[in-house]
Structure formats: C-alpha cells, structure tokens
Amino acid sequence: MKAQPVLLMVFFAGVVGMVAWSYYAVTRPAVQEQQSKQHERESLTADLQRCCHRKQSQSAQYEQYAHTASVEDAPSAATLFRALAHSERVQEFYCAELIGKLGSSYQSPSRILIFQGSTPTNIARSLARLNTLSDNEQTIHYHLTQGNRLVARLLIWVEAAEGRQRELLAAYASEHPDTTGAGYLVCPTCGNIYRSDHYDRYCPHCLTSARQFTRFTISNE
C-alpha cells in the first residue's frame, strides 16, 4: 500500500513529462520560425541602415562639391553636383521609410567625413568612387528569391541611379568644363537622374511622370 503514492508520483511525473515534450515538439517549429523571421528583419534593417548612411554621406559630399564649384565659377559642375546630391537624398528618404516599415527607425551616422578639393579633382574622385562600388546583382537576386521585394526594388533603384550618376560625371569630364548649359532632372520617387535635354516621359523604374521631376539648371544657382 505504501508503494501506491510513489507509483502515482512516478506516473504523474511521466504524464507531465509527456505533455511538456509534446508542447515543446509542437511549438518549437513556430518559435524557430519566429526567431528566423526576427533575425531576417534585423539583417534587412542593418543592410538598409548601411545604405542610408552611404546615401546621407554622399549627399553631404556632393553638396560640398557644389559649393566648391560655385566658388570656382564652374556653374555647370555646381548644377550637376546639386542634382546628384538631391538624387542621393531621395534614395536616403525612401530607404529610411523602408526601415520604418520593418518596425525600426533610421539612425543617422555619428559623423560624416567631407573631402575638399578643386572641381576637377572632385569630378575625378566622384567617378572613382562610383567605379569601385560593388555589383548588387547577387544581393538583388537574393532578396527577390526570398520575397523581400521592397528591399530588392530599393537596391535596383540605387544601382540604376548610380549608373546614371557615373554616366553624367563621365560626360562632364569628357566635355570642356561649363560649355554645356544642360540642366538635370531628378525623379522624386526613386532618385533616377537625367540630363534635361534627354529624359523619359515616365521614369522607367517607378513610373513617376516627368512632370513631377525636380529640375536643376544653372539659373537656379
């Protein structure tokens, strides 16, 4: 008779253990999936933070270059740099907005290093920087296959705009400085940039009407 309480306790402990194991087996996949999603969000946010920092830093750098060009009486270069700065700011804003949609907030860099030099040096430095940027094709493909379409779209816009920036800087470098009066247009949605004498009626990346593009001309100086 004395053994019955012991047996009951053993049985009860076994039942509790079986229930606990069953609960763990059922909830573990859900917990792991939740942890995986949280890790993915944190990874996406970190990538977007880096993109935002790059855009904010480069926007400030282009603004400095524009100021230098104005002081050196190079209005075409100043106009180009102001348009480039605006293109970077548009993409920074969209990137920060996307971070908010992921449940986080954009943290500005603690400091930004600004280089100073003559306008020809600044043109060359800007081109060199754009030529050293890594190809985003694999990253874009990864986010598309993972279903992160908003992030993939941002990276596609970034790559396209930086390609246009490279073309415009190279065109300016190949021409005699300030012999062209062409201005520039910047898409307010994705940051795509054009010369004002050659642009699409609708942005091919985000379908924004050209009537909404932000115009930069020498007369704005």
What is the domain-level CATH number for residue 181? 1.20.1260.10
pLDDT of residue 141: 87
Q: Is residue 192 part of a domain?
A: yes
Total domains in the chain come to: 1
Q: Pick out the chain residues at pLDDT < 50.
A: 1, 31-32, 35, 179
At residue 111, the pLDDT reads 82
Name the β-bridge partners of 202: 209
- Beta-carbon contacts of 106 under 8 Å, excluding residues fewer than 6 positions away, are 49, 52, 95, 96, 99, 100
* Secondary element (H or E) of residue 208: none
| Res 220: pLDDT | 57
Nearest C-alpha neighbor of 161 from the set 139, 135, 194, 183: 194
14 φ, ψ (degrees, to nearest 5): -65, -40
Residue 39 lies in a domain: no
- Does residue 159 belong to any structural domain of this protein? yes
What is the maximum span of the chain, computed from C-alpha positions, in angstroms? 108
Domain region containing 95: 44-220
| pLDDT value for 83 | 96
